[in-house]
Amino acid sequence: MKVIFFGSSLFSKIVFETLWQGNVNITGIVTRKPKPKGRGKIKMPTPVSLSGKEKGVDVYEVENLNFGKFEDWLKGKKPDIFLLASFGKIIPEKILDMVNLPLNIHPSLLPKYRGASPIRGALMNNEQTTGITIFKMTERMDAGDIIHQYPVDILTEEVATELEQRLGKIGGQEFIKVYWKLEKGRNVKFIPQNETLATYTHKIKKEDLKIQWDETYDKVVGKIRGLAMEPGAYTYFRGKRIKLLRAIPYLTANEQPGKIIETSKEGIIVACKGGTVMIKSLKIEGKSITTPSDFINGYKVKKGDFFKEA
């Protein structure tokens, strides 16, 4: 069966490479056009575009999913399956209707965590389990009938970029199972989602990144894990913007939010509502990732200091 793969992110790249290793017959890739990035505003192809071209797969970069040349390209591939994994756009019904099996690999156990940020959402809510769902796409976002699900335990201290890579690999492996069932003509069940259990995530905005120390310690830890390593949750120390990249809940305390109540080479213990968190990795604006001990020594951090805007 011929597969056209739709994807744009690191998650997409890992899924694609796993499928490629599993001998899934991917005859084309649809991905987003390069966007300007960084201070130099250099246009960089998507991770899946680079990987696909390296492997000699025909890659079609799009901005809008309009018919015309794109329709001709799709039809020329004579696909049996459209497979989407973190493409970044909703596929119009007229495109979905071109194949019998428009499928999606989604990194959550649907109907929970539909939408743009399922991995970050699960971590920010301190979930212990997430998973992979393979479902048939409709025009409604992440609402189609489920073909296959696979639960995945979230590891202690795992952050979003790490979980994304792990789920990408697992997602590819689970689709391979589905693919070979279809290839061999075996029946696959389509199970409707329970709409009453649906939850939604939103695209992460700039205002979501700032740590609010007067929130509960579990919310602070969840935000740090869910936004690390990129774009990174941030706070301020002596006027400098600091990304916090790893943290764990630590102990109960009744101290002023944002106050540093202990320092050690293992971490910086900071007060929140109802408890504290231990910061285990951080990044000072314009510099590389650093350890708590290097940060403490470099900035002469002491008990009673605060993470706050100047």
Residue 38 reports pLDDT greater than 80: no
Closest CA to 200 of 129, 137, 143: 143
CATH code where residue 123 lies = 3.40.50.170
pLDDT of residue 139: 86
| Range in 38-52, 71-85, 118-132, 243-257 the model is least confident about | 38-52
Of 201, 216, 248, which marks where a domain is finished?
Answer: 201
Pair 279, 172 in one domain: no
Residue 151 falls inside a structural domain: yes
Residue 72 falls inside a structural domain: yes
Pair 23, 59 in one domain: yes
Contacts of 252 (CB under 8 A, 6+ apart): 274, 275, 276
Rounded to an integer, the average pLDDT of 169-193 is 95
Number of residues that make up the chain: 310
Pair 63, 108 in one domain: yes
Q: How many helices (H) and strands (E) does the chain have?
A: 8, 17
Pair 252, 138 in one domain: no
Closest CA to 157 of 235, 229, 215: 229
Residue 304 falls inside a structural domain: no
Cis peptide before 141 (omega within 30 of 0): no
pTM comes to 0.94
pLDDT in tens, 184-220: 988 899 999 999 999 999 999 999 999 999 999 999 9
Pair 196, 101 in one domain: yes
Residue 32 falls inside a structural domain: yes
Pair 178, 226 in one domain: no
Residue 310 falls inside a structural domain: no
Pair 59, 157 in one domain: yes
Phi and psi at residue 135, in whole multiples of 5°? -140, 165
Rounded to an integer, the average pLDDT of 168-195 is 95
Of 170, 185, 201, which marks where a domain is finished?
Answer: 201
Kindly report the number of other CB atoms within 10 A of residue 63's CB atom: 9
Rounded to an integer, the average pLDDT of 47-52 is 96
Residue 142 reports pLDDT greater than 80: yes
**Cβ neighbourhood burial of 242 (10 Å; 0-12, 13-18, 19+):** buried
Residue 59 reports pLDDT greater than 80: yes
pLDDT of residue 262: 94
Pair 104, 19 in one domain: yes
Count of the separate structural domains present in the chain = 2
DSSP state of 191: B
One-letter amino acid of 93: E
**How does residue 64 score in pLDDT terms, banded at 50, 70 and 90?**
confident
In Å, how far are 4, 31, 170 from 25, measured between CA atoms?
A: 9, 17, 18
Residue 231 reports pLDDT greater than 70: yes
Pair 259, 181 in one domain: no
Pair 11, 117 in one domain: yes
Residue 292 reports pLDDT greater than 90: yes
pLDDT of residue 42: 82
pLDDT in tens, 263-287: 998 999 999 999 999 999 999 998 9
Of 155, 176, 201, which marks where a domain is finished?
Answer: 201
Residue 53 falls inside a structural domain: yes
Residue 237 reports pLDDT greater than 70: yes
Helix (H, G, I), strand (E, B) or coil at 80: coil
Pair 183, 83 in one domain: yes
Rounded Cα–Cα distance for residues 279 and 156 (Å): 15
**How does residue 39 score in pLDDT terms, banded at 50, 70 and 90?**
low
Contact 114, 141 (CB under 8 A): yes
Residue 52 reports pLDDT greater than 90: yes
pLDDT in tens, 86-140: 998 889 899 999 999 999 999 999 999 999 999 999 999 999 999 999 999 998 9
pLDDT of residue 310: 59
Residue 305 falls inside a structural domain: no
pLDDT in tens, 11-31: 999 999 999 999 999 999 999
Domain hosting residue 273, numbered range: 206-299
Pair 155, 41 in one domain: yes
Residue 259 reports pLDDT greater than 80: yes
Average pLDDT score, the chain = 94
Residue 23 falls inside a structural domain: yes
Contacts of 169 (CB under 8 A, 6+ apart): 14, 18
